Structure 1
Amino acid sequence: MSLSGKVLKNALRLCNPLLNKRVSVVINSRSYYVGTSSIEPFHPIPGKEPVWTTAEEAVKKIKSGMRVYVHGTSCTPNVLVSAMAKHGSQAGLQNVECIHIHTEGPAEYCKPEYEGIFRGNSLFIGKNCREAVNQGRGDFTPIFLSETPHLFRRRILHLDVAMISVSPPDKHGFCSLGPSVDCTRAAIQNARCIIGQVNKKIPRTFGDGIVHQSHFDVMVETDEDLPVLKPHPQSDVEKKIGKFIAGNLVADGATLQMGIGSIPDAVLACLGNHRDLGVHSEMFSDGVVDLVYKGSITNAKKVIHTGKIVGGFSLGTKKLYDFLDNNPFVVMCDIEFVNNTAIICQNPKVTAINSCIEVDVTGQVVSDSIGARMYSGVGGQIDFIRGAALGLDGLGMPILALPSQTKRGESKIVGYLKEGAGVVTTRAHAHYIVTEYGIANLFGKSLRQRAYHLIRIAHPDHREELEKTAFERLKCMPAP
């Protein structure tokens, strides 16, 4: 422990004798931080400059047994990730853990040939890591998105290296985390070594994502296109769901949270005639941009960051990234702030719109798995479902939406959840459930009332069977 750490520890003991038995003091191991127990990556560090080198040289800092944080979503540093995979194989590394939320790109470290060299640990599972997790070659850590920064700030998971993407330094030496601040700010506050993939195509954003270059150990210059998430054509089912939500559950002046996907896009497409909408959302995509240009999103009624869109990360097309670049209308913030229920609930008419995979007749909601097969993660669904439900104005709208059946014709509203399925949103958390057949409001409803309303919005082909199963389970007929 450093001298400053010992002084701080002794001071704590003197102030509170009860701490004598167990005192935990976090002192960062980076040698260039002097006399401080916390790391703020904003200020310039006098006399320190990063080493500019190649990706191949930069990743040589990664050794066997290390834990490496990988920046996620639209800022996945794929040049560094590919170089790391090659280095791991050539150098004979073992047991390197790669921890991250959803990432874009090939995620080479998750491929079978790298088993034993790398092991992924997904805090939210993306398509590129799904197979590894379900085959036992990778790990999944269930966690609310709002709590992911706690893993690093509380040193529950120590980080040896953080590989992140940033915009080039400006004339003052400041870089931006661009469209992906999320839990990355917490990671760079606590990693022993920071490797930056400097990409001139990353938009500079305002908010919590500003980092001075002197906090980096190594920087690698790249010119890489950002991952693109193109909107999929909306099906008739998705359009119906979008119209139900937009027409019945979204009010003028509402503060919106929505995920990325076809159903949120369908809702946004129907909000062009709404006024004074605000956005406070863990993530957003191109649909928000369209509503800004139509004048529907003004953020004028918001309490938190009035007049500004608040987000944690974003993923979309070049249109989105161009919109974000140097735009003071948007602030990208630490996800511990964005997804904090106590923050969310202060905004007016908080309307949280999220997707799910399966709902049983009592209102239990599965969002991260299909049976025992892991699919995504917990994410911020509960953070915002609770934020909306606890809205200080009493006008929040916690909404979960899903098609009534799968592409194979199986009902997504079921009598019993599939074996192994994980409940993300409990029956007590569930309020509005929406399918293309309508809206079920479960709040304050008994189990038999819930079953009745959910069966009414199930696909007609499955309603009779659902009634039989509900009777078998509840020992009474569903009733309004």
Structure 2
Amino acid sequence: MALGVAQPPALLNALAARAASREVSGLSLYYLLSTPNAACVLRTDLRDRINPVSLFHGVIERALDAEAERLGLAPVDFLPTAFSQAPDVLSRQVDADVLLTTVSPMDDEGCFSLGTNTDYALAVSKSARHVIVEVNPAMPRAHGDCRIPVDRVTALVEHEAPLLEIPSPALRNEDIAIGKLVADLVEDGACLQMGIGALPDAVCAALSGRRRLGIHTELMTPGLSRLMRQGVVDNSSKTIHPGRTVFTFAMGDKALYDFIDDNPAFEAHPVDYVNSPAVIAANARMVSVNATLEIDLHGACNSEQRIGRQYSASGGQLDFVRGASASQGGKSIIACHSTAAGGKVSRIVPSLCGAVTTPRNDVHYVATEYGIVNLRGLSLRERAKALIAIAHPDFREGLDRAAFTIRD
């Protein structure tokens, strides 16, 4: 099943109906980042017929896991992988035999554009034994390496419906403060990657005074598109793909989708290319901005688990951390609020309670609303002191006590 906006509602509703009537069973459904379009097939009552295998948990999977715990069932299957590896995992390791995705209407060359979602779908369209597409005029026709020729399509349905829109989260004071701190590190001519959520949106909002910025990002957002409309981003200083915004999937509002449609300023490419650390590093002055759930006093980040449960996934975070770090003049920034749970929990912790998404060796800059620190070149003792200084004041004394083993 396609990712995000490209999850095809007509096809998925038909599949859910067949599963409910027990006409199909024994299916494993692989996907990343589910949306309400997929809720019809991601149901506890269908788990014995359609087994979801998630590469990135979200609201739907967290709700299913909570329901499974109440009923004494197993949680949703989770397949850990970097986003850059998803095409290989799904097309070669898992060997998915059917692709379900939404595409734009066929062009004059007999090809369908994957539009908002090239990511892993292009690779699976080449390897799957069956490619079933939902043709929707609302899906933008993107430029780049993102087309499926009609001779690869097993079957299609036509279904005209508005694309799913994901509202931008409201910015909190902490987001605005972090956005300004991060924006101060972005020079004119830098190349941007932004993750998902309020913090990257806040960074975009703080960049209105920059010039000649470029974009090379896995996720294209309304915040990034506004920088293009404002003339802040013109991609003129990019080392590779000059003059073009490069992305692998897009998620946001109708204005974003309309802006991408047949716009040569955009190029969509598969995620194993866009998220390749070597390709990312080929962009000079690459700046990546990603969020995390918690960071320990050595600098390691857990961006995917809460209280030992899968909350999201690694996605492309480590891909861009390593790519930006290897870029000439590049900067990798991990940003988070200093607290969670309404201020009751510190996000800077003595030790992580979940998986290590980004190892301490790779972390470069860390930002909270209380400041930004560069961990590169710091000893463990120096890292602890630096991170405690940007923790919430209510937790600094406890963190200082917890760090005694790595302090003089």
TM-score by length of 2: 0.95
Summarize the alignment of residues 69-468 of structure 1 with structure 2, pairs less than 5 Å apart. 70-105=1-36, 106-133=38-65, 135=68, 136-153=74-91, 155-247=92-184, 249-391=185-327, 393=328, 395-409=329-343, 410-418=345-353, 421-468=354-401
Contact 2:304–2:311, Cα closer than 8 Å, also in 1:
yes
Q: Deviations over 1:167-203 (max 9, x none)?
A: 1112332211001100100111111111110101000
Structure 1 residue 95 displacement after superposition = 2.2
Equivalent residue letter for 2:350: G
Name the amino acid aligned to 1:79: A
Instruction: Map Cα deviations across residues 189-228 of structure 1 (whole Å, 9 max, x no partner).
Output: 1111111101010000001111122221110000121111
| Separation in 1, partners of 2:298, 2:378 | 10
- What is the distance in 1 between the residues matched to 2:138 and 2:172? 33
CA RMSD of aligned residues (A): 1.3
Letter of the 2:50 partner, please give it.
F
Q: Quick check: 1:133–1:139 contact (8 Å CA) kept in 2?
A: no
Letter in 1 for 2:395: H
Query: Partner of 1:40 in structure 2?
Result: none
- Preserved contact between residue 126 and residue 152 of structure 2 (Cα < 8 Å): no
Letter in 1 for 2:242: T
Assess if the C-alpha contact under 8 Å between 2:215 and 2:235 holds in 1: yes
**Residue segments in structure 1 that go unaligned for 5+ positions in a row:** 1-69
Work out the CA distance in 2 between the residues paired with 1:230 and 1:222.
Answer: 23
How far has the Cα of 1:449 moved from its partner?
A: 0.4
Give the superposition deviation at 1:229: 1.1
Q: Distance in 1 between matches of 2:191 and 2:307?
A: 33
Looking at structure 1, the residues matched to 313 and 155 of structure 2 have their Cα atoms a distance apart, in angstroms, of: 32
Q: State which drifts further: 119-128 or 454-463.
A: 119-128
What is the number of residues matched between the two proteins?
Answer: 400
**Identity of paired residues, percent?**
36
1:366-416 deviation per Cα after TM superposition (whole angstroms, max 9, x unaligned): 00111211111111001010001111x2x1101000000013311110112
Alpha-carbon distance, 1:456 to partner? 0.2
Counterpart position of 1:56: none
Task: Give 1:83 shift.
Answer: 1.0
TM-superposed deviation, 1:92:
4.3
How far did residue 156 of structure 1 move?
Answer: 1.1
Find the aligned partners of 2:33 and 2:364 in 1 and give their Cα distance: 27
SS in 2 for 1:298: coil
| Alpha-carbon distance in 2 for matches of 1:416, 1:351 | 27
Alpha-carbon distance in structure 1 between the residues aligned to 2:220 and 2:107 = 26
State the distance in 2 between where 1:127 and 1:208 align: 31
8 Å CA contact 1:97, 1:119 repeated in 2: yes
Distance 1:109 1:255 in 2: 38
Match of 2:71 in 1: none
Asked if the contact 1:119/1:137 (under 8 Å) is kept, the reply is: no
Larger radius of gyration: 1
Deviation per CA, 1:91-144, whole angstroms, max 9, x where unpaired? 343321000111211422221111211111111122222333564242111101
